[in-house]
Structure formats: structure tokens, C-alpha cells
Amino acid sequence: MQILVCVKRVPMVGGKIVILPNGQELDTHMSGFTVSPHEECAVEEAVRLTERYGGGVTVLTLGPAEAADQLRDMLALGASRAVLLETDGREWGPVATARAIVDAIRGGDGGYDLLLFGNESADTGGYQVPVRVAHALGLPCVTGIKGIEITESGGPGAARARREYGSTEEAFELPLPAVISVKEGINLPRYPSLPGRLRAKRAVIERFTPQWQPEGLSRLGLRVPATERRQAEILGTGTDAVPALLALLSELGVLK
């Protein structure tokens, strides 16, 4: 089966988010970049499915030239082909992003049995690119998935997708081709192998340059919420702090 996985390059924010003086972007000169966690799991899931059913995994991203690094990371995990929709570094909204992905699918070889996405990107958290892509292509779609099984033996015919709902699970049957967005926890991604890394280094990345478009939702600025900044009262050091800790638990009413 042929699987397309869409990923996004995002900063590794670590312990603190610093905003540039322009109030528009994060200060990333000290941080590395990665793909959103849900998407790394989407790539792992795709690789597992093709290990089982044959076929190949194409990873696609829309981002600056440097996003090729993230594509190579995903190639190292087992993806076989990479496509970069190269931008000038400006932030793209979800409507334009979905349109560029759809154009790439229509313009390219197409023929995917499954289109996988992360449930939401770590940074902008728009929750909609996969759904917009599905509508544009007329494909069935489900989001937030924590388990995928391919049903109908003898070729990929349908996918059974599961997710948590409150204290229970719900399951969806989707005829293929379909669009599914997944959440971290669907699997535990592997570490890239050395041969995987070497292959990724040599791989040719296909590049296209879609046109940026404005959309209805536009960013005015970014800020860190004020409520974030508390500073802990130190109860003590090591086991000497245990009486104070016990007194605090009692005060909070959590001791039975």
C-alpha cells in the first residue's frame, strides 16, 4: 500500500518559550527543530503498515528549505520518498496549507491508499489541515486516532480506526483511500538505524514552490500568558522537607 504522511517542522521549545522583540515569532536561535510528536508517530505507523502490507511511504512537508532536515529524519525512520513544498519562511495558514498539499497530490503520482497526518501541529494547533485535505479530495476522514488496522485480507480495502472517547473507545470503519490523523501513543516510534540515516543523507528530496495566500484568520501577535509565572515556595531540602510536605498535604485535604 502507498501511504502519504504529512509532517510539520516546529521548534523544540524545551523549558521556556521566548518571543522575538517583534512579538510575531519565537526565538529559535538556541533551539533545534523537530516534527510535531503526533506526526512522528504517523510516520512510524505508516512504516509499520508498509512492513506488513508492502508498498512505500512518502513524507511531505510545507516549510522553509531547512525543513529538508525533518524530511531526512523521517526518511531515516523508514520513509522511502520525500517531498518539500518550499516556502519563503512565512507562516502559512491551514486553508492555504491544505490547498498546497492537495495540489501536490493531484499534480504528482497520487494513488495513495492512505493519507496520514498528526492530529494537530505542536505550534499553531489548528486541528483542521487533514479534514480540509479530505474534503478537497472527497475522501473519508477521521481524526485523533490511537489504533489502525487494515481489514479485508488480500489487499487494502478498509481501515478500522480506534480512539478514546471519555472512558470508552470508539471505532470507525473507513473505506480506503482515506485520511486519518493520529495521536502520540498509537505506537512508540523506533530510533533511526544507521543504514536508515545513511540512506536518508543520500536521498533526493523532490521540491515544489507553492504560492503563499492570505486567509480569513490572521495572526496579529504572540505573547506568553501572565498566569504562567508562579514561583514556588521552597518547603525544604531532601528528606528534611518531609514534615513540611506532610503538613501541606494535610492542609490541602488530600490525606485520607
Residues 39-58 that bind another protein (CB under 8 A): none
Nearer to another protein, 211 or 227 (CB): 227
Residue selected from 4, 67, 141, 150 as contacting another protein according to rule CB under 8 A: 141
152 is a site residue for another protein (CB under 8 A): no
Q: Beta-carbon neighbour count of residue 88 at 10 Å? A: 8
What nine digits make up the cell of 33?
527543530
Which residues 164-203 are close enough to bind another protein by CB under 8 A? Answer: 164-175, 183-185, 188
Would you say 81 or 163 has its CB closer to another protein?
A: 163
Q: Does 107 interact with another protein (rule: CB under 8 A)?
A: no
Question: Nearer to another protein by C-beta: 81 or 130?
Answer: 130
The three-state secondary structure class of 121 is: coil
CB of 54 to another protein, least distance (A): 26
By beta-carbon proximity to another protein, the closer residue of 23 and 54 is: 23
Q: Tell me how far CA of residue 126 lies from CA of 39, 92, 95, 163, 243, in angstroms.
A: 14, 11, 10, 19, 46
Q: Which of 45, 4, 58 is nearest to 205 (CA)?
A: 58
What string marks each residue from 198 to 217 as x (binds another protein by CB under 8 A) or -?
Answer: -----------------xxx
Report which secondary-structure segment, H or E, holds 49: helix 37-53
Q: How far is the CB of 204 from another protein (least distance, A)?
A: 30
Q: Cell numbers of 194, please?
A: 544507521
Beta carbons of 104 and 6 less than 8 angstroms apart: no
Q: How many residues does the chain have?
A: 256
Contacting residue, 21, 195, 204, 252, with another protein by CB under 8 A: 252
From 25, 64, 80, 127, residue interacting with another protein (rule: CB under 8 A): 127
Our finding on whether 21 is near another protein (CB under 8 A) is no
Q: How many beta carbons lie within 10 A of that of residue 140, not counting itself?
A: 16
Choose among 202, 194, 224: nearest CA to 68.
202
Distance (Å, rounded) from C-alpha 169 to C-alpha 159? 16
- The number of residues that bind another protein (CB under 8 A) is 86
Among 123, 197, 203, 206, binds another protein (CB under 8 A): 123
Nearer to another protein, 29 or 223 (CB): 223
Half-sphere exposure (Cβ direction) of 192: Cα atoms closer than 13 Å: 20
Part in contact with another protein (CB under 8 A); list of ranges 57-65, 107-115, 120-128, 193-201: 120-128
